[in-house]
Chains A and B, each alone.
Chain A
Amino acid sequence: DIVMTQSPDSLAVSLGERATINCKSSQIVSKSSNNKYCLAWYQQKPGQPPKLLIYWATTRESGVPDRFSGSGSGTDFTLTITSLQAEDVAVYYCQQFDGSPPMYTFGQGTRLEI
């Protein structure tokens, strides 16, 4: 089975600074029919369901502020939050879709604090 490992498990960043969360897959993340990596990022605040931020590794979901960006390839991916805002305090998850059998796998989560 594919394992997604995020780092760090938690981090504290000052307001207005940059936060970087890494996600490493135990296997190369597959690509969709449009040649994009099947890798997504979510933000989850307490008592709420996760919110999709980034899909296909780099595509920002509609309505997501442009301070959120995704990058990476192969097995290593990154979520970057520039100019951190107070409302960005949350747990962030990466997720991939692939494998044999095909399935979705989440990282363990990274807690972001101010």
Chain B
Amino acid sequence: QVQLQESGPGLVKPSETLSLTCAVSGVSVSRDYWSWIRQPAGKGLEWVGRFSPGESLLYNPSLKSRVTVSIDTSKNQFSLELNSVTAADTAVYYCARSINSGFDIWGQGTMVIVSS
């Protein structure tokens, strides 16, 4: 059974870097496609970026200059870094497995607040 679990600081100061990790269990992170998706409170879903071993990283063009998605095979996890954050980056951040052009497995999400 594939499971995902996000972790990271719940509070980030403006202009600093948001760093989150998604621990993957039940499958090797070295296969499949792995994405980050965020959702501001009471609003819709926004895809952030996708990593897949052996393929080009994909990023939401609106965030591309600030986003890095990476993978740590030794820990079977993947990570998100979003720099120069503002209040607009406050959201629940989900990690998810991308498959068949959709997202079939999701983490429970982690709330990140950008505030001084």
Contact = CB atoms under 8 A, between A and B. Distances in A.
Contacts of B96: 49
A102 B58 contact: yes
A103 B103 contact: no
B58 A101 contact: yes
Nearest to A49: B106
Given A108-B44, A109-B44, A49 B94 contact: yes
Interface string A22-60: 000000000010000011101000001111100110010
Contacts, number: 67
Contact of B35 (A39, A50, A104, A108): A104
B44 A107 contact: yes
A48 B45 CA distance: 13
Contacts of A97: 101-102
A74 to B, nearest CB: 16
Contacts of A56: 100-101
Contacts of A103: 47, 58-61
A97 B99 CA distance: 11
Interface in B50-69: 50, 58-61
Which of A48, A49, A106 is packed against the most chain B CB atoms within 10 Å? Answer: A49
Interface residues of B, number: 24
A101 B102 contact: no
Interface in B83-116: 94, 96, 98-104, 106-109
A108 B102 CA distance: 16
A21 B54 CA distance: 37
A10 to B, nearest CB: 13
Contacts of B94: 49-50
Contact of A93 (B45, B50, B101, B106): B45
Contacts of A95: 45, 102-103
